[in-house]
Amino acid sequence: MSKTPQKIAKTKLIKQISTVYKGAFKVTVESDDGGSHLCLYIETDGLSDNLPQTVKDCLPSSYWLDWRLLVMRCPPGWARAPDDEVRN
């Protein structure tokens, strides 16, 4: 089975997260030794903060449309860096 095209997977993830999370976040496509994957960066107030339950509930596995999905918590302001696809 082939992956959903990158742009479609990324757009659908952004749309899904924006329905359940009102804070800042961004989605990127990155790669490592395991190949390409999506990264969801979610701003939280502190590194000890848990991922919001609404986000956990809408992402039931570590895959999104056949893409590996990594979810990263980041400090306030980080996801709003210029030149990124960011929803505020």
Q: Note whether residue 86 is domain-resident.
A: no
* DSSP letter, residue 81: -
Q: Note whether residue 87 is domain-resident.
A: no
pLDDT digits (tens, 9 = 90+) for 23-80: 999 999 999 998 999 999 999 887 667 888 899 899 989 999 999 999 998 888 888 7
pLDDT at 5 over 60: yes
Host domain of residue 31: 6-81
Asked if 49 and 73 touch (Cβ cutoff 8 Å), the reply is yes
Q: Note whether residue 1 is domain-resident.
A: no
Q: Note whether residue 39 is domain-resident.
A: yes
Kindly report the CATH number assigned to the domain that includes residue 28.
3.30.300
Give the pLDDT confidence score for residue 49 in this predicted structure: 72
Total number of domains constituting the chain: 1
